[in-house]
Chains A and B, each alone.
Chain A
């Protein structure tokens, strides 16, 4: 169980609280949606849950243990822009090998990508293809939870559907819990077991 307890956060001690006393849990295999307006702190909450930011108060636990400071994190975050999430000087196979140890061709098959892409550079793939690579990289054997922050916001409807379709089958197979952040209500209603609004969480 990925658990955030009484999380509060602000970017500067003199500024207002962005997150105040938020608690939420994600169970293995469960997809939780998180929606809200721009600037309400969706991404900030995601970054805190994935360990990219430290909350000013409260804590994160994975199965009753705090997130590791070093080494592989069981919580992986996927960002909105795949081209910023990969080293532009690396070929795809090297990018994938950073996250997964096993057979890359199998993974490419699972995500509906041609194995010939493995030898390409990131700028030689489209945004949708690259986002699938980034998702594939985050599905290493130690990954228990995914934080998906607007991961299909820049893609067209068909690609969005395809990507979420592959994600759903992949996470069901691996029993991974997902926190899906989006402001697209239709999308969240389609994929989520439970949908939360950040305004309702904020106390």
Chain B
């Protein structure tokens, strides 16, 4: 029997293993973040004017802001809020995309024409302007942000799913399947779904960073959440006023945290895409 020596290098060379490891790692970080968000005490959000504008030290590792609030608490709470809003918005957006994409491909004709027209319409408008308009019309606040992000992010994914289904319906193996006696529902669940589910999952995860960044962006320009909620966008827009006075930690640390989280989602999405495609992993 051949002995297999497990080393750092052999693990890195095994694509399947590294993919699964990175997926687990990403999920662990997000789980840790949401647990921290629930358990962290509200004390840090209280204003404490004696402790304002402290640079990062052992007691406040991310420093404090101009009202003496602990930045670590605010950032953890803010990222959690972003996570929640991102999840809802990306979820709704993906649902819309899958439904419209499937209808477009399976019904064809007039339905297809109308949906394609809508996709073109949504894609031709400048994204941020559209987002501001819709979230303002929907009443602003967290609800406005969620609605705004959800109804503006579906067109790209809807187009991908429409193309995927159209291409699948023309493949030889699906035509053979019906000659072998598979019913339409059988083809739908056994042939189409396994191809659509990864698109759905990956699409949703890759939408997530967009949703979070747009939420932060809307809050930054003052269209989103109310000023007292600990949200990354609000923290960043407040820090603008203090940058020139040298309080670098108010902008750099929350910005880096946001970037880190968005990048993590990107990595998660790409690894799940590789994981569900047997060809990449085992080829």
A residues in contact (CB < 8 Å) with B: 50-52, 70-73, 76-77, 79, 81, 84-89, 98-99, 121, 123-124, 137-138, 140, 142
* Selected A-B contacts with CB under 8 Å, 8 pairs: A72-B179, A72-B180, A76-B179, A84-B172, A85-B176, A121-B279, A123-B278, A138-B180
Give complex CA distance A182, B205 in Å: 48
Give complex CA distance A70, B184 in Å: 10
Residue of A with least CB distance to B175: A52
B residues in contact (CB < 8 Å) with A: 171-173, 175-177, 179-183, 191, 194-195, 278-279, 282-283
Give complex CA distance A86, B175 in Å: 10
Residues of B within 8 A of A76 (CB): 179-180
Residues of B within 8 A of A50 (CB): 179
Give complex CA distance A98, B282 in Å: 24
Give complex CA distance A85, B171 in Å: 8
Give complex CA distance A177, B182 in Å: 23
The answer to whether A71 touches B173, judged by C-beta atoms less than 8 angstroms apart, is no
The answer to whether B180 touches A98, judged by C-beta atoms less than 8 angstroms apart, is yes
Residue of B with least CB distance to A142: B181
CB distance from A9 to the nearest CB of B (A): 17
Residues of A within 8 A of B183 (CB): 70
CB distance from B4 to the nearest CB of A (A): 20
Instruction: Known A-B contacts: A123-B282, A140-B180. Give 9 more (CB < 8 A).
Output: A72-B179, A81-B172, A84-B172, A85-B172, A85-B176, A87-B194, A88-B279, A99-B180, A142-B181
Most buried by A among B175, B177, B181, B279: B181
- In the complex, which of the residues A71, A77, A98 contacts B177, with contact meaning CB atoms closer than 8 Å? A98
The answer to whether B282 touches A86, judged by C-beta atoms less than 8 angstroms apart, is no
Residues of A within 8 A of B283 (CB): 123
Residue of A with least CB distance to B183: A70
Give complex CA distance A123, B175 in Å: 20
Residues of A within 8 A of B194 (CB): 87, 89
Residue of A with least CB distance to B186: A98
The answer to whether B180 touches A89, judged by C-beta atoms less than 8 angstroms apart, is no
Give complex CA distance A52, B176 in Å: 9
Residues of B within 8 A of A84 (CB): 171-173
Give complex CA distance A79, B182 in Å: 18
CB distance from A12 to the nearest CB of B (A): 18
Give complex CA distance A87, B169 in Å: 12
- In the complex, which of the residues A70, A73, A79, A121 contacts B282, with contact meaning CB atoms closer than 8 Å? A121
CB distance from B97 to the nearest CB of A (A): 21
Given contacts A123-B279, A123-B283, contact A87 B180 (CB under 8 A): no
Residues of A within 8 A of B173 (CB): 84-87
Give complex CA distance A70, B181 in Å: 7
Residue of A with least CB distance to B191: A87
CB distance from A154 to the nearest CB of B (A): 15
Give complex CA distance A70, B176 in Å: 12
The answer to whether B191 touches A73, judged by C-beta atoms less than 8 angstroms apart, is no
The answer to whether B179 touches A51, judged by C-beta atoms less than 8 angstroms apart, is yes
**Can you list the 3 inter-chain pairs with the closest CB atoms, starting with the nearest?**
A72-B181, A73-B179, A84-B172
Residues of B within 8 A of A85 (CB): 172-173, 176
